Amino acid sequence: MLKYFLFSIFLVLLSSPAISSDDDRTLRLYNWEDYMPQFVLDDFEKQTGYHVEQIYYASDELKEELIIRTGGKGMDLIMGASDGFMNYISQGGVISKFDPTLTPNLAHIDPSWNKYYPGLSDHAAPFLWGTLGIIYRKDLVKQHVSSWADILQPDESLHGKILMLQDRRILFTPALKLLGSSSNETKYENLQQAAELLNKQQPHVASYKYFDISEESELIVGSIWMALAYNGDALALRKYSDNIEYIVPKEGTFIWADYIAILEASTKKPAAHAFINYINSPEIAAKLAESLNYASPNLAANKLLSKEFLNDPLIYPPIAVINKSEVLLPIKGRTMSYYNNIYTNLLVQ
C-alpha cells in the first residue's frame, strides 16, 4: 500500500507549480530505478547544459496509471517495455515521432529489431535487451535446475523460498512455455492451463515483487533460494556471491527489449532528441551495456565491447537459446483482462 500512497503524492506534485513549471534546462526521465548510470547523466549535462532528473516507477502497472492519468505531462522521456510502447502508438498522442535529423546515432541500431516491432523505430529506440530465466543459489538448491518446472513445480525444500516477478505478462511466461505455448498466447483454454500451474505454485512463493540486487538482496542473504529474474540481475548479484546461478530453461523464454521514447507532452523535444542521440553514440551505448550488464542493440557499440563481454552467454544468449525464444507482443481486450484477473488473484491470496 505504501507505494500506491507515494504514487498518489507524486501525482499531486506533478501537477503543482513547482513540478509543472517549465525549467528550460531540466529534462525529466520516467524510468526504472538504477537503470540509467549517473555518470551518463553527468556527462550529458557537461556536454549540453541539460540536467536530467529521473522519476522512478516501481511497476509497469504504476507507470501505465500515471500515463493514463496525466498523459505524461511534466515529463519528457520514458523508458519501458517494447510491447507497452506498441500500445502507446496504437493509442496515439502518448509518444512523439522522432525527428531523424536530430537523432543521427539511431543509424547504429541493429535493423533486425524493426522486424519484431514494425513502426516502433519511428517513435522509440531500443535501449538494452536480454532474457528471462531462473536465478538460484547453487549452494542451497541441491537438485539440477534446467526447466520451468523447477520453479513452477518445485521440490518441497523450496517451499517459501521462491520469488516471482511482479508483472502480469512476465509471470505467465514460465507456465506458458512449460506447456509448449507461446508467451503471446491468446487461447482461453491454454491460458487457463497456465493459470492452474501458477495457482498450484502459489503456496510455495514467498512474494511477488521485483527483488533487491544489492548485497542485501534476498538471494544473497539466503531468505530466497530461487527467483524468476532477468539475466542482468544475475550478473549484478554475482558481484556479491559466487553461488548465484542463472539459466534459461530448456523450453525457451522470451527476449525482452526496453525502449526509450519522447513523450508527446514534452515541452523540450529538441533537448529530449539530443539525449536519445547521446546515449546512442557508440562509446556511451557500450558503457551503458557494460555498466548495466545487458546486451546492446547498438551495432557500433558492440564493436567497442570486450570479447569477454560479448562471449558471455548470460549477456548475449547463444543462437540455440534465441531460436527457442520469442518477443512479447501487445495483448488487448478480453485476453488482457484475463491476465489481469489471474495476476490480481495471485497477489491477494
Give the global pTM. Answer: 0.85
**244 pairs with which residues across the strands?**
137
Q: What is the pLDDT of residue 33?
A: 87
**231's grid cell:** 539475466
Q: What is the pLDDT of residue 11?
A: 44
Structural domains in the chain? 2-129+256-316 (3.40.190.10), 130-254+325-348 (3.40.190.10)
**15's grid cell:** 501537477
CB 55 within 8 A of CB 79: no
pLDDT, tens digit (0-9, with 9 covering 90-100), for 44-79:
999 999 999 999 987 777 777 778 787 788 899 999
Q: Using N-to-C axis directions, what is the helix angle for 333-348 and 168-178, rounded to 10°? A: 100
For 156, the 3-state DSSP assignment is: helix
Please identify every stretch of the chain with a pLDDT value under 70, giving residue numbers as ranges. 1-22, 347-349
Question: For the chain, how big is the Rg over CA atoms in Å?
Answer: 20
Query: How many other C-beta atoms can be found within 10 angstroms of the C-beta atom of residue 107?
Result: 11
Alpha-carbon gap, residue 64 to 71, rounded angstroms? 10
CA angle 33, 282, 129 (to 5 degrees): 45
The amino acid that residue 333 corresponds to is: G
pLDDT, tens digit (0-9, with 9 covering 90-100), for 318-329:
999 999 999 988
Nearest to 258 by CA among 226, 219, 228, 231: 231
| Total length of the chain | 349
CB 292 within 8 A of CB 232: yes
CB 138 within 8 A of CB 243: yes
pLDDT, tens digit (0-9, with 9 covering 90-100), for 160-206:
999 999 888 889 999 999 999 999 998 989 999 999 999 999 999 99
Q: What is the pLDDT of residue 5?
A: 39
Alpha-carbon gap, residue 280 to 282, rounded angstroms? 6
CB 208 within 8 A of CB 170: no
